[in-house]
């Protein structure tokens, strides 16, 4: 297995979709190739970091666009939802 | 075109025939089963019954149901910034994002009577906004899609990495406590080509599974997997300079 093939199969490996034999070949390559270990680790970190960065649902500092707020409220009124 | 662009003169509230009253409701959703996320209800929360409206939300909901105009205004002002941020991330376009947010509010307000209040109002609105943005994405004519290839790893003829991967700073996750680092990550996600960004957002950020993502986007599960893998690789490439060594 080459580095290219290992990286091609990375998602399947992480999703535990590789059969026993290709999984063993995959792990043997990892054993011998620190660069692929680094790739695997940083790929995993990418997933975790992107999740964490978006998980913080911080309130955007900006004010809501006034035109949008007005347009929504007029539409709501037009549907007769408010008193 | 956008209903609320700075450049558009005389914004008109737009009817939204695609959404029907009560379309996004917890009850209907539960009856249909199996599509828990798709129509906006937070059924995980509902089934586990672990989330309930806080007092502020309960009061707001009661006032909305009573048709209090101030409650509608407060809801729109309170939630628009974060819904807009979500819609922008999916659509990458301000006009479309604002359209989606308007669609989402109108849809949510039509479904208020069926909202059981067992999930948080903010969560419910968030899911509806994601759906509205995805709907808009599907209807939008595909612009020329930028290639993801330059962001994928390169290999020599014998299959070795041309730019060998190096470890990232061990504090990479901790530095996310800084807002500027989170902004770097979010901007990198925004920079992904649309087809890939959308899959990554649905799978890795919104937490949909492959099957549901495929249904939402109208593509095969194989396509979802391929795009997800490429999107993660591209995002890794974009983040690498920021997190490699002590660069974060």
Express each pLDDT in B59-117 by its tens digit. Answer: 888 899 899 999 999 999 999 998 998 899 899 889 999 999 999 999 999 998 878 77
Which parts of chain B register pLDDT below 70? 1-55, 141-144, 246-248
pTM: 0.74
Residue B229 with chain A: CB contacts under 8 Å: 10-11
Contact A3 B160 (CB under 8 A): yes
Give residues 198 to 217 of B whose Cβ lies within 8 Å of A.
200, 204-205
pLDDT for the residue A56: 63
pLDDT for the residue B116: 76
Task: Give Cα separations from B184 to B72, B97, B133, B149 (angstroms).
Answer: 34, 21, 23, 21
| Token representation of residue B116 | 């059981």
Q: Which domains does chain B have, with CATH numbers?
A: 26-139 (1.10.1740.10), 149-243 (1.10.10.10)
Helices A66-78 and B94-110: angle between axes, nearest 10 degrees: 30
CA–CA distance, A34 with B167 (Å, rounded to integer): 10
pLDDT for the residue B117: 74
Give residues 8 to 67 of A whose Cβ lies within 8 Å of B.
10-11, 35-36, 38-39, 41-43, 45-54, 56-60, 62-65, 67
CATH 1.10.10 fits A3-78, yes or no: yes
Q: Which residue of B has its CA nearest to A58?
A: B82
pLDDT, averaged in runs of 10, over chain A (83 residues): 96 95 96 96 95 74 88 89 75
pLDDT for the residue B37: 36
CA–CA distance, B72 with B76 (Å, rounded to integer): 6
Residue A78 with chain B: CB contacts under 8 Å: 13
Radius of gyration of chain B (CA): 20
For chain A, the structural domain boundaries read 3-78
pLDDT for the residue B21: 32
pLDDT for the residue B173: 80
Asked if this assembly's ipTM is beyond 0.95, the reply is no
Q: Which residue of A has its CA nearest to B229?
A: A11
* Chain A interface includes B80 (CB < 8 A): yes
Contact B76 A72 (CB under 8 A): yes
| Token representation of residue B170 | 């061990």
Contact A75 B179 (CB under 8 A): no
Per-residue model confidence as pLDDT tens digits over B86-96 = 899 899 889 99
**E-strand spans in B28-164?**
none
Residue A39 with chain B: CB contacts under 8 Å: 153, 161, 165
Please count the other Cβ atoms lying within 10 Å of the Cβ belonging to residue A72: 29
Give residues 29 to 48 of B whose Cβ lies within 8 Å of A.
none
């Amino acid at each position: 297995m080459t580095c290219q093939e290992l990286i091609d199969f990375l998602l399947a490996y992480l999703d535990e979709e590789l059969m026993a034999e290709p999984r063993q070949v995959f792990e043997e390559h990892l054993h011998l190739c620190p660069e692929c270990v680094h790739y695997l680790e940083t790929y995993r970190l990418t997933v975790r970091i992107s999740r964490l960065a978006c998980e913080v649902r911080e309130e955007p500092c900006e004010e809501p666009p006034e035109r949008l707020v007005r347009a929504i409220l007029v539409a709501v009124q037009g549907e007769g939802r408010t008193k | 075109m956008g209903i609320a662009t700075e450049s558009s003169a005389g914004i008109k509230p737009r009817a939204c025939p695609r959404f029907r009253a009560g379309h996004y409701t917890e009850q209907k959703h539960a009856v249909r089963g199996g599509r828990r996320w798709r129509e906006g209800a937070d059924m995980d929360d509902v089934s586990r019954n672990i989330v309930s409206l806080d007092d502020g939300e309960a009061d707001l909901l009661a006032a909305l149901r009573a048709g209090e105009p101030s409650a509608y205004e407060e809801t729109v002002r309170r939630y628009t910034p974060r819904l807009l941020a979500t819609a922008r991330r999916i659509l990458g376009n301000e006009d479309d994002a604002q359209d989606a947010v308007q669609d989402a509010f109108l849809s949510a307000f039509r479904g208020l009577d069926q909202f059981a209040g067992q999930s948080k109002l903010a969560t419910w609105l968030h899911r509806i906004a994601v759906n509205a943005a995805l709907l808009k994405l599907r209807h939008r004519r595909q612009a020329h899609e930028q290639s993801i290839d330059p962001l994928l790893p390169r290999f020599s003829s014998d299959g070795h990495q041309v730019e060998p991967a190096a470890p990232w700073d061990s504090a990479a996750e901790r530095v996310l406590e800084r807002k500027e680092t989170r902004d770097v990550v979010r901007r990198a996600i925004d920079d992904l080509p649309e087809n890939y960004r959308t899959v990554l957002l649905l799978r890795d950020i919104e937490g949909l599974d492959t099957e549901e993502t495929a249904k939402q986007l109208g593509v095969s599960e194989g396509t979802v997997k391929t795009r997800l893998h490429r999107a993660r690789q591209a995002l890794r490439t974009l983040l690498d300079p920021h997190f490699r060594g002590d660069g974060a």
